[in-house]
Amino acid sequence: MRILFFAQLREATGVTEGEIDADDVSAGPLWIALIKRWPALEAHQANTRLARNGGYAAPDEVFRDGDEVALLPPVSGG
């Protein structure tokens, strides 16, 4: 699974993208895998949205091997 990081999440992980092995997981287990690989993400989990293959992921979304998952931090501006 390809993982994309933006803004402060890119700074927290030190990378713009990465890979993890996960298949048929919901958001909870996916977050566990992400934090295991990039522990600094734990501080951002509550405020970060997940997107799957170009669209916002629903709370019960199932993530599969081969998906592109973007971690989207809150944005500000006007």
Q: What is the dihedral of CA 44, 70, 24, 57, to 10 degrees?
A: 90
CA-CA distance, 49 to 60, in Å (whole number)? 13
Instruction: Give the Cβ contact number of residue 34 at 10 Å.
Output: 26
pLDDT tens string for the chain (78 positions)?
999 999 999 999 999 999 999 899 999 999 999 999 999 999 999 999 999 999 999 989 999 999 999 999 987 655
Q: Give the CA diameter of the chain.
A: 38
- pTM comes to 0.91
Ordered domains of the chain (ranges, CATH): 2-72 (3.10.20.30)
